[in-house]
Every structure is written in structure tokens, then in C-alpha cells.
A and B are shown apart, each in its own frame.
Chain A
Amino acid sequence: MHLIDRHAYSNRLRRVDPAQKGGLAVLTILLCLLLDRPTVGLLAVAWMLALTTLWAQVPPLAFGRALLAEGLFLLLSVVGVALSVSLGQPAATAAAWRIGPLWFSTSSEALALALRLLSRALGCAAALNFLILTTPLTDLIELLRRLRVPETLIELMTIIYRAIFVLLESLDRMRTAQDARLGYRDARRAMRSAALLGSQLFLDAYRRSKRLQITLESRGLDGPLRVIALDYTSDRRVWWIGAALVASLMLAGVAL
């Protein structure tokens, strides 16, 4: 959370209009889904890695760690596609293993399908990584506001995003106070302390919400939470990058 947030606020594309960055990410996702080929997905990952690290100057490690976490989840979920389980010996398979009464088998079609799913999902995940590592949530909220997402959702996102950090600070303070009184010296006490902490944090959040209501009303809250739009620069290179991206992905999808 903090890691992504830090890069999002300090990368070189921070000032670029979120619509442009969002546009690139959405284009990539659409092409990955429509063309649906392993080469397209993998090429999309390479593109997004290049844009994030070379253009936005986010360290490759940050991109890699985010993608690795997503990749592990995806890998787990395509295992079910690649492997089939049966009681009797399966016919026509690429490989089969017997463990006790169960047969685990895979076929070349199943493997191909799993690879296609994995690469497609990885391509989409990489596109989202590019977006969140280069665009702070305030800008994404601003983009959604421009796209006429309902006001209530925008307000919720604004306040929740801010509350995450406020409550994390509270959490940290409470945990330190418990720790200082040996609240975490063994597993049993740690469980008990954590439970107390959870309920206290809930109360804290509730009290904070009441105080926030007072301060917002003091500043004339009267209907929706209105704020000014943020300023961005428009980067002309985005159009060329977008064109090259679409052309190469299309080529990979059609030719390979």
C-alpha cells in the first residue's frame, strides 16, 4: 500500500493527465482480452514494464513485486485448468500421474488453454500495475469524477482513501501502546491484544467520523463534497506510444 502510494506520487508521469495514462492501460486490457493470445499477453507485460520503468522511472523491483504477487495468484487459479483429476485412468493425455486412487492428467489443449488464460490475465494485471504505480488515487478519483461516476461513490472513495492513512496511524499508536505493556509477549496474549485492538479501532473510526462531520459542517458542508479539479499536463508522446502499442499488439495477435 505505502509502496505503491509512494511511487504513484513521485514518478515522472505524476503530472500527466490521468485520462492519458488510464487510456493506455484500458487499451492494453481491451487488446489482451480481444486478441486472446499468449504472445499478446506477454508482449503487453513487456510494454507495461518498459513504460513503468523507462518512461515513468519507477524502479523495476516495484513493478516486479506487484506482478509477482498477482502472478502467483493467477498461477494457482490456472492449475485447475491445466490439471484434471479422475478416478480411472484417463485416455488421450499428454501426461498422467497416479497418486493413490486418483489420476492427475493434463493434455496439450488444457496446457494451451492455461497458458492463454495466464498470459491474458498477466497482461491485464501489468496494465493496471502501470496505472496504479504512475497515478495516485487522488488522480484516479479525479478521472472517475470526470467520467461522471455517481457523486456518492466518489465521496466514499475520497473519504475512505484518506481514512486508511488516518486509521493506520491510530492502529500503529495503539499497537505500540499495547506492545509497551507486553501485550504481545506470547501467542495467547497476542490474540487477545489483537482482538482488543480491532474493537478499539472500530470505536476510534466511529468517533473520528463524528468529528469529521462537525468539521465538514463548520466549513459549510451543504450537499455533495465539492472540490476543485486538479491540473494536469497533456503529454503528446502518449499518442505515439499508444499507436505503437496498439500496432505491436495487433501484429502479435494476428501474425503469431
Chain B
Amino acid sequence: MNAVLEWDNLYFTFPGAAAPALRGATLRLERGQRVALLGRNGAGKSTLLLQANGILRPSSGEVRVGGTPLGFSRRGLIAARRQVGLVFQNPDDQLFSASVAQDISFGPLNLGLSVGETRQRVATAAALCEIADLLDRPTHALSGGQKTRVALAGVLAMEPQVILADEATAGLDPWMRQQVFAIFNRLVAQGTTVLLATHDLDVAHHWADLVAVMDAGRVIVAAPPKQVFGDPTLRDLLGPSSPWAAGEVDTYAPR
């Protein structure tokens, strides 16, 4: 199987920081995978994601997107951002336009698509995220869950191979969260890889095919959930939560 995205032995220190944020992080994602990235606060999850499309540049190691090493030239960055889409926790950080339709059109136009193609992409992404009725509403009149889906549509309109979502479902009510997972599952069915960085161990247990656990700047495990949650040593790292308890409810199963 070809990896769609690989982090290969990455080292990175934030300017002015005493300790490195990444110390030899390695992870490999395949096509159509559902991935949960776990790890305590400060383990390096967000830093790892920001390496994937060249926002941050590793001091050593390599990121490969679709088998090609990520280049930091203008063309290299555009290629990486075309294939790797990042969704952040707070949609207000991403939505820059008061017009929902115009906000979603930003990414596709940056890829150099024509206005006609862009309109098509906006409509497709809006349908996928079930926000077609919000396209001409002002951004500031949307609810939190609606904003999350608009932000997601803005990334999906670029049709990336990999979606990296940093805590994108945190703070949403169970209904909204289920809607976001429905979108993720649709994407996975189309062959897109979806990675969700999360603290929600339930999600990792029931939704993911691959669970990666980060600690102190390294990926210490990347394995199927059964294996990860069968390992009692990880319980101490990740904290108490229901996957270790009896009586599981299959809320996040793909449908």
C-alpha cells in the first residue's frame, strides 16, 4: 500500500523554546484510513499536523505527501496544501469572510481553478457538509456547529487526499458531533484519509481504524484500537475513560 502522508523522523523546536516539540516523530497514513491521534496536552499533536502542509519546517526529518518529499518552494507548498487539508478547532480562526460562499471559495481559487469550477466545488462541498442553505447567510449569524461545518467545507472544497482535523469536534454537542462524523465517514468512503487529533478516547476506540498515540514529541504507538486499548500501560498515559470500562456503545461506527 502506498502511504498518502508520511512523517519521517521529524525533529522540531519552536523558536525560543527550551525543549523540542517533536523528537523523532514518525507516522504513516494510508488511503481511506480513519485515524485518531491521541496524546496529552503538549505531546506535540498540533505541531505534527502543522508540519504536514509546510506551515512549520522540521529541523531534521522529512514529510512525504503522496510519496513525494515536501518541498518548501512556492510550488512545493501549493502542492502540499492541495493534498493535505487542515481543519482547526476554532472555526472563527479560519472563517475570514462574512459571506459563507465567498469563504468556501477561497481555497479552490488559490488552487488556480476557474470561477466556474470553483462554484461547482463550493456547491459540492456545501452539499457534503449539509450547509447549502447557509451559503448566503452572514458568517457571524451562524451557530458553533454550523461554523464548524462551514470551516470543514472550506477545506473540503480543495478536495484534499488527507484531512487533518485538530480537535475539530471538541465543544460540539453529540448531535453536531455525529453530523461531523457522518461527513468524515462519507469522505473516507470516497477514499480520503481522515485524521482527527482528539482527547475523546471513545472516538478513537469506536471510529478509528488506526490509533496513534503521541508522547513527548514522538509517536509511541500506531496500531488498531483493539491493540491500543488492550495495552494497560497506555491507560496510565491517556487517562481513565470508557474504552477501558465495560459496556460499550457503538456511537461512532461508520455507516
Contacts and interface: CB of A to CB of B under 8 A. Distances in A.
Contacts of A226: 105-106, 109-110
A215 B98 contact: no
Contacts of B138: 5, 9, 136, 138
B101 A228 contact: yes
Contact of A158 (B88, B97, B140): B97
A211 B118 CA distance: 25
A162 B96 contact: yes
Contact of B97 (A5, A138, A169, A229): A138
A212 interface: yes
Given A214-B55, A219-B81, A230 B110 contact: no
B78 A166 contact: no
Contacts of A3: none
Nearest to B94: A215
Contacts of A211: 88, 90, 93
Nearest to B151: A215
Contact of A227 (B85, B103, B158): B103
B119 interface: yes
B107 A220 contact: yes
Contacts of A222: 74, 78, 110
Interface in B49-105: 50, 53, 55, 74, 78, 81-82, 85-86, 88, 90, 92-99, 101-103, 105
B83 to A, nearest CB: 11
Given A158-B96, A162-B139, A222-B78, A217 B55 contact: yes
B96 A212 contact: yes
Contacts of A166: 92, 140
A104 B105 CA distance: 62
Q: Bin the interface of chain B by size.
A: 35 or more
A64 to B, nearest CB: 24
23 contacts: A9-B137, A138-B99, A162-B96, A162-B98, A165-B98, A166-B92, A211-B93, A214-B50, A214-B93, A215-B94, A219-B81, A219-B107, A219-B154, A220-B110, A220-B111, A221-B110, A222-B110, A226-B106, A227-B102, A227-B103, A228-B122, A229-B115, A230-B101
Interface in A171-213: 208, 211-212
B100 to A, nearest CB: 10
Q: Is the interface of A mostly helix, strand, loop or mixed?
A: helix
B55 A218 contact: yes
Contacts of B101: 228, 230
A225 B85 contact: no
Given A138-B102, A228-B105, A220 B94 contact: no
Contacts of A66: none
A136 B90 CA distance: 25
Contacts of B17: none
A23 to B, nearest CB: 22
B interface: dominant SS: helix
Contacts of A4: none
Contacts of A138: 97-99, 102, 138
B141 interface: yes
Query: Which range contains the number of A residues in contact with the other chain?
Result: 20 to 34
B78 A220 contact: yes
B106 A9 contact: no
A214 B137 CA distance: 25
A225 B99 CA distance: 13
B85 A218 contact: yes
Interface in B122-160: 122, 136-141, 154-155, 158
A5 B78 CA distance: 36
Given A138-B99, A219-B85, A227-B109, 5 more contacts: A9-B141, A138-B98, A215-B88, A222-B78, A227-B97
Contacts of B82: 220
Nearest to A14: B136
Given A212-B93, A226-B109, A226-B110, A218 B86 contact: yes
B69 to A, nearest CB: 19
Given A218-B55, A228-B101, A162 B140 contact: yes
A220 B107 CA distance: 6
A126 B129 CA distance: 41
Nearest to A158: B97
B88 A228 contact: no
A9 to B, nearest CB: 6
